[in-house]
Structure 1
Amino acid sequence: MKANWKWWFWLLPWKWHPKHRRETAAPAPTVLPLREFVYLDEVSLKSLLVSQQGELATEFTDQDVLVEQAEVSSKMSVAPKGVGAEIGSRFQSTSTLGRQTLRKSVAQSQFKTLLEMESIDIRFRSNGLQDGPTSAEDLAQTDESAHSIHVDRLKRGDLMELEVELAADPIYRFNLTMAELSDLAKKYPEMTNAPGSAEVMEQIGPVSRMLEQLLVGLVPIRSRCLNLTLVEHNGQSYVARTSVAESLGLTTQPIDVVGVTDLDQYWKDVRRVLFAHGSFKMLCRVARDGLHDDWSPVKGAEVLSELAPQFPGLLEAAGRTEYRTPTDARVEKQREALAKALRLFASNLLDLSTPPRSWEECEGLDALISAQSDRASSASGQRAAFDAVAELVSQVVPVPPSPEQLQEFRQDAREVTQLRFSLSQIPAEAVESTQKPRGPEKLLDVEIVAIYW
C-alpha cells in the first residue's frame, strides 16, 4: 500500500536532526611545496608575468562593513478627570564599523603565480614527470621531451628549472678571501709580524679593490648541475635528466651552470649559501644557445678587452690559481741550502783523512742530513746540524779534525750554498703559483631569475 505522506511530515523537528543528515567527506587539504628563497630577481620576475598577463596587479583592497541598529520606544498615557497626558520616548542607535585591509602583492606570490601559469613552458620541472625512455634509441629519437633535449635545440630565452650544487665562481671566492684578509690585517696588525706577511698584505689590498671594481656589484655563479647531464649517442649530444641517463647506463659528462647574480637581490648572506655547497633549485633562462667551453665571470673586464684582449682570460685563470706565501718559499729554500751545505761539509771532512774515506763508509750519513731540515730556520739550529754531522764523520776518520778546520769547512759550505743564518736575510722573491687543474667542461650560460629550496 502506498504511503500517504503529509506535507507537514517534512517539517517535523526530528527530521532535521544531525544523525539524519547525509554525511559528506571533507575535501583533502591541498599540499603545497615549502619554498624558501635565497635569491630572487624581481625585475625579471615581473617582466615574465607582464609578458603573459599584459598587466600586473600590485595592490589588493578588501573592505568589510558592519551596520548595527537598535531602537527602543515607550509610550505612557494618563487621563484623569478629563485631563490627558502622554509621554513618549524613542531611542535609536546606529553603529557602522568599517574595516579596510590593504595587502601588497609580494614577490613570493608573484613567483607562485608564474609557476602555475599553463601558458609558460618550464623545461625539466621536477613535478608531473612522465615515463622516461627505455633505451638510448628512444632518448635520441625524442627531439624534445620532459626528459631530454638535443643540445642544438637549447635556445636563448628558454625557461628551465635546474637543481644545482650552488657555489660562487673561483674568481669571486678568490676576491672575497683577499678582502677578508686585508680587513683582518687592518684590525689585527700583529698578523703582519711574520716574515713576508707584510709584503703579502700590501699586495692584497689593491688587487682586491681592483677586482671589486671590475665585478660591478655582480656575483658570478659556477654551479654543478645535479638533475641534468650531457650524453653522447651516435655522434649527437643530448642534455638529459641524470636519473634517466644513469638508468640507461649511458656515459655522461657533467654540466656546469654559469651566470651572474645581483648582490642586492640575495635574501640571505652570500657566505651562508655560496660557500656551503648546498643543493638548491634554480629558475633561469638560457642566455646563449647550446652549451659552451668558456665563459667570462668578470663582466667589467669585457670593457677592457678591446685594449687588452688577454685580460679577461688572465682574470679567469687567477681564480683557478693556488698561491703560496713567500714565507713558505723561503723556508723551503733554506732547507735545501742546509742540506747541500751539510753534504759539502761532510765531503771535506772525509777527504781530510789519509787515505780519504768514502761516503759509503760513513753509515747513516744520508739519513742524518735529511733529519736536519727542521733546523734550517735559525743559526743555533744550523750549528747543531753541523755538529751532528761532524760527530758522525769523526767516528770513521782516524784523526778527528781540529776546531779551526771545522770552522773553515762550515764557512766554506755556507758561502758555496748561500746558506743564511735566518730567513730575514733571504730577499723577497715572487712566489711560484700553480693553477688548479680543470678538465673538459660544458657550460650552460643562463640568466638567473630565482634560487630557492
Structure 2
Amino acid sequence: MIFRRKGRRWAKERREFVYLDEASVTSLIASRDGAIKDTVKETLTRSTEGEFKAGGSSAGKKLGLSAEARVKKTNTSGQEVVRKAVIQSTFRDLRTGGTDELLTTVDRKRRRREVEPRSLATVRDVVRHKRKLLNHGQLLRVADIKRGDVLELTVNLSAERTYQLATALSSVVDLVNGREDLFGIDKPQYNQIVGILEIIEGMLVGLVPIRGTSIDFAVLTIDGEEHLLHRSLVDPNGNLQHHLKLLEVVGVTNFASYTRDLRRVLFAGESYTTYVRIESATLRESWQPVKLATVLEKTFLKAGDLFTRLTEVLADAAEHTDAVPAPEPTPVDWEDATLWFGRALAAECATSPEEPVLQAAATMAAVTLAAATDIEQRRSAFDGVANTVAPGADRETVRRVRDPILHQATAQTGQPSAPVSRQPARTEQTTRKLEVEFVAIYW
C-alpha cells in the first residue's frame, strides 16, 4: 500500500523472511552506519542493604546503660545476558534506519494535499497534477532512478519460465528413468532431455532467475518519458488504465539464500514484499536471465543463442515478440493441449489426479510432442499422460478424448490454434522490465 497501515509501524509488524542476501544486507548497512553489531550485551545488577540500631542512656540519679549497635549488610548480584545479532535483525536495522533512502515503500504515510486515490481518469489528469504527484512521491520519473537506488515493492513473485520448466522436469526425471514406455518417451529422447537439463543448470551456475510483477506501480509514458505511477490513483472507470504497462522487476537470486522451500516460494503465485536495489537504471523490453551467456558472448561465443535453442526444446521460454508465429505448435501449445487432454480424460474416467503430477506429465509430453515427427509419436506422448491420469482407461475412450484435441493443436491455419483458453500473454508492448538485485523477500 502507498499509505501506512494504522496502528502499526514497520518495526513492530511481524514478518516472515523467505529470502535474505546476507552479503548485500551487510554491505548496505556497513556503508551507511559503519560498524555492525555482532552481539548485544545486557547487564542486570541487584543490591540490598540492611541497618539495625539499639541504645540506652542514664540521666541524673537514675542508673542506666547506653549502647548503640549498627549493622549494615550489602548484597550485590549481577546477571549478564548476551544476544547474538542475526541477519534478520541486521536487516531490520537497515530497513528502519533509512526510510528516507527508499524511493518507494509499502508503508508510506499519507501526506496532506496530495492527489486523492482513484482521481486520475486520463493522461491529461496526470499531466495536470504532475508536479504535485512528483513532490509527494506518487509519481517517479524513470530518468531520475540511478543504479544502486533502493525500492520496496509488493509483487507477484515467480521463477523465470525456463527455470520453472527445468525444475519441474528435474523432479520427474528420476521417476521416468526406466519407465520411458509408460510416459510415451523413447530412451534417446529421455537422454536428450537429461542432457539439456544438465546444460541449463550449468549455465545458471547456482543462480535462480526470478521476476516479480508490481502490484502497486505501473509504467506510464508522458511526453516521451517513462514514469512509475501508483495504481491506487487510477480511476477504474477511466481510460488511463489502457495507457499503463506492467512493471516487472527481474533479477537473479542465490539458491543458498532462500530460507524456505524454493518451490513453495516461487511456484505458488503468491505476493511478497521485495527490498531491491537497482542493477540497471533503464526499463527494457527483454531480459537475459543467464548471466553466463552474456559473459560468453563477449568472447564471441553465441551462448545466448544456444540457451534460447535449448529452452525452445523444453518450452516457449523466449520472450513474446511481434514476429510472425511459426505454423507448427509451440511447446507451450503442446503443454496446454496435454493439460486439457488430461483433465478431460480424468473427468471422463471419474479420476482425480493431483495437479502437480498432471503438470509434470504434461510438461514431459510437451517436450516429446515438440520433437515428434509423425502422428504415432504424438499419440504415444498423449498415452503417457493417459497412463498418469487414468491407467485403466480403455483405448477407445483415450482416442475419443485425444483426437479432437490433437487435431485442433495441429490445425494448419498460419497460426497454431491454442487448445486451451488461458490468460493473454504479457507481450513486450505491455510489460517493461527493470533489472534489480534482490536483497530481501518477505511477507
What range describes the TM-score normalised by the shorter chain of this pair? Answer: 0.5 to 0.7
Q: How does 1:401-412 map to 2 (within 5 A)?
A: none
- Indicate whether 1:180 and 2:171 are aligned: yes
Instruction: Please tell me whether residue 320 in structure 1 is matched to residue 316 in structure 2.
Output: yes
1:64–1:98 contact (8 Å) kept in structure 2: yes
Aligned to 1:281: 273
The structure 2 residue matched to 1:171, chosen from 149, 158, 162, is 162
**Aligned in 2, Cα 1:287/1:246: closer, same or farther, shift over 3 Å?**
farther
CA drift at 1:190: 2.7
- The answer on 1:61 being equivalent to 2:53 is no
Equivalent of 2:151 in 160, 170, 177: 160
How far is the alpha carbon of 1:262 from its aligned partner?
A: 0.7
Q: 2:188 aligns with which of 190, 196, 199?
A: 199
In structure 1, the residue matched to 2:126 is 136
Asked whether the 8 Å contact 1:231–1:245 carries over to 2, the reply is no
Alignment of 1:87-166 (within 5 A): 97-118=77-98, 120-127=100-107, 128-130=109-111, 131-132=114-115, 135-141=125-131, 142-143=133-134, 145-166=136-157
Deviation larger for 104-113 or 53-62: 104-113
- Partners in 1 of 2:271 and 2:223 — Cα distance? 33
Tell me how far apart the structure 2 counterparts of residues 104 and 39 of structure 1 sit (CA, whole Å). Answer: 20
Shift of 1:222: 1.6
How much has 1:238 moved relative to structure 2? 1.3
Structure with higher Rg: it is: 1
% identity of equivalent residues: 28
Q: 2:215 aligns with which of 226, 231, 242?
A: 226
Partner of 2:256: 264
> 1 CA distance for matches of 2:147 and 2:212?
19
Does the residue aligned with 1:220 lie in a helix, a strand or coil?
strand
Number of residue equivalences: 318
Q: Distance in 1 between matches of 2:88 and 2:97?
A: 15
Q: Structure 1 residues 253, 192: CA separation in 2 closer, same or farther (over 3 Å shift)?
A: same
CA distance in 2, matches of 1:286, 1:144: 21
Superposed, 1:333-412 pairs within 5 Å as: 333=376, 374=399
Q: CA deviation at 1:195?
A: 4.3
Structure 1 position 68, deviation (Å): 5.8
Query: Is 1:244 aligned to residue 233 of structure 2?
Result: yes
Indicate how the Cα distance of structure 1 residues 334 and 50 shifts in structure 2: closer, same or farther if over 3 A, else same.
closer
Conservation of the 8 A alpha-carbon contact between 2:296 and 2:302: no
Give the direction of change, closer, same or farther, for the CA distance of 1:148–1:374 in structure 2 (3 Å limit): same
Worse-matched range after superposition: 35-44 or 128-137 = 128-137
- Hey, what's the Cα distance between the residues in 2 that align with 1:252 and 1:106? 41
Q: Deviations over 1:312-355 (max 9, x none)?
A: 2442562535244259947735899xxxxxxxxxxxxxxxxxxx
Aligned with residue 290 of structure 2, among 294, 298, 308: 298
Measure how far apart 1:63 and its partner are.
2.0
Q: TM-score, normalised by structure 1?
A: 0.61
Distance 1:177 1:308 in 2: 32
Going from structure 1 to structure 2, the CA distance change for 1:30 and 1:167 (only over 3 Å counts) comes to closer
Kept in 2, the 8 Å contact 1:284–1:446? The answer is yes
Deviation at 1:146, TM superposition (A): 1.5
Offset at 1:58? 1.4
In structure 1, runs of 5+ residues without a counterpart are 1-27, 73-90, 337-370, 378-431
How many angstroms apart in 1 are the aligned matches of 2:196 and 2:150? 37
Q: Is the 8 A contact 2:180 2:190 kept in 1?
A: no
Q: Which amino acid aligns with 1:320?
A: D
Judge conservation of contact 1:171–1:297 (CA < 8 Å) in 2: no
Quote the residue 1:190 is aligned against.
179
- Equivalent residue number for residue 35 of structure 1: 15
**Structure 1: which amino acid aligns with 2:440?**
A
C-alpha spacing 1:47/1:195, structure 2 compared with 1 (3 Å): closer
Give the superposed CA RMSD: 3.7
Match of 1:167, SS state, is strand
Tell me by how many angstroms 1:100 deviates.
1.9
Maintained 8 Å contact 1:171/1:315: no
The answer to which of 41-50 and 161-170 deviates more is: 41-50
Deviations 1:218-276 (A, max 9, x none): 11112211111011233332111122234664121111110111111111010001000
Distance 1:334 1:304, change over 3 A: closer
- Tell me if the contact between 1:195 and 1:327 (Cα under 8 Å) persists in the aligned partners: no
| Amino acid in structure 2 at the alignment position of 1:325 | T
Q: Which residue of 2 aligns with 1:6?
A: none
Distance of aligned partners of 1:329 and 1:59 in 2 relative to their CA distance in 1, 3 Å threshold? same
Superimposed CA distance per residue, residues 343-400 of structure 1 (whole angstroms, 9 cap, x where no aligned partner): xxxxxxxxxxxxxxxxxxxxxxxxxxxx99949x9xxxxxxxxxxxxxxxxxxxxxxx
Shift of 1:290: 2.2
Confirm or deny: 8 A CA contact 1:140 1:233 kept in the other structure.
no
Which residue does the alignment assign to 1:419? none
State the distance in 2 between where 1:43 and 1:36 align: 19
For residue 181 of structure 1, give the secondary structure of its aligned residue in structure 2.
helix
CA offset digits 1:128-175 (Å, max 9, x no partner): 133336531245345564111112222111110111101000121122
CA distance in 2, matches of 1:335, 1:47: 54
* Stretches of structure 2 lacking an aligned partner (at least 5 in a row): 1-5, 53-70, 120-124, 318-330, 332-365, 380-395, 403-415, 419-423
Alignment match, 2:349: none
Distance 2:110 2:48 in 1: 55
Contact 2:372 2:378 in 1 (8 A): no
1:307 deviation in Å? 4.6
**DSSP-derived class of the 1:223 partner:** strand
Partner SS for 2:212: strand
